[in-house]
Amino acid sequence: MTTPNARRFEKHNALVTGGGSGIGQAIALRLASEGAAITILELRPEAGEETARLIRESGGQASVTAADVSQTDSVRAAFSALERLDILVNNAGIAHVGNVLSTTPEDLDRLYAVNVRGVYHCLHFGVEKMLATGGGVILNMASIASKVGIADRFAYSMTKGAVLTMTLSVARDFVEKKIRCNCICPARVHTPFVDGFLAKTYPGREEEMFAKLAAGQPIGRMGTPEEVASLAAFLCSDEAAFVTGSAYDLDGGFTLLR
């Protein structure tokens, strides 16, 4: 992992959605290690508290706000409680496996509610908060599925495509208001979700299928949450002050196969 750049987020308040595990947790830990005061927005507050505990034990500042990103009033209340917002990381999201035939209307609505409406809610209230204090930085978690066709990811790809285009729209509309907005498009990253998916879908074959999934990236392995967090920290920092409206592939060469 890249060595943290001292205290480049000192006096910055950052909110990370879905910061209780996986990529969201890694980003929260990384930003906190460089001085940011972290608010973890989590549907499962107990998971958020574990991340907050790790941050506090390392001398950082962290709090947890329980909220459902799919619910307007829940997100409104969470953002209203913030004194200031300098960095917003829209990480919360859910996955689904299926093509257009096997994806039910209920599946589509469930994915849309969290991955699209949830990001919209945080952008809607987050941009308003940033405008009140002179600007800020937004980072959305998209996916390579927003750029290339991946088998059996119909609904998921649809939602991540929306995240990509919301990123471009916010970047364009608020570039003159000192708000930068970018997104990261990861390929397969080894998170607890991957382990849970393998245990549920391929019981007894987890190791075999893990190796197969890892081999899907030309680099020969999955990414790590910490690698995503390293790029996230750069994009949220002043070192990326000239970067907005960009979608960064973090894919181990996956798009080389397309």
So which residues are the catalytic ones? Answer: 156
Q: Which residue in 129, 89, 93, 136 sits closest to 114, CA to CA?
A: 93
Residues 208 and 195 sit within 8 Å (Cβ to Cβ): no
The length of the chain, given as a count of residues? 258
Q: Which residue in 196, 187, 193 sits closest to 220, CA to CA?
A: 187
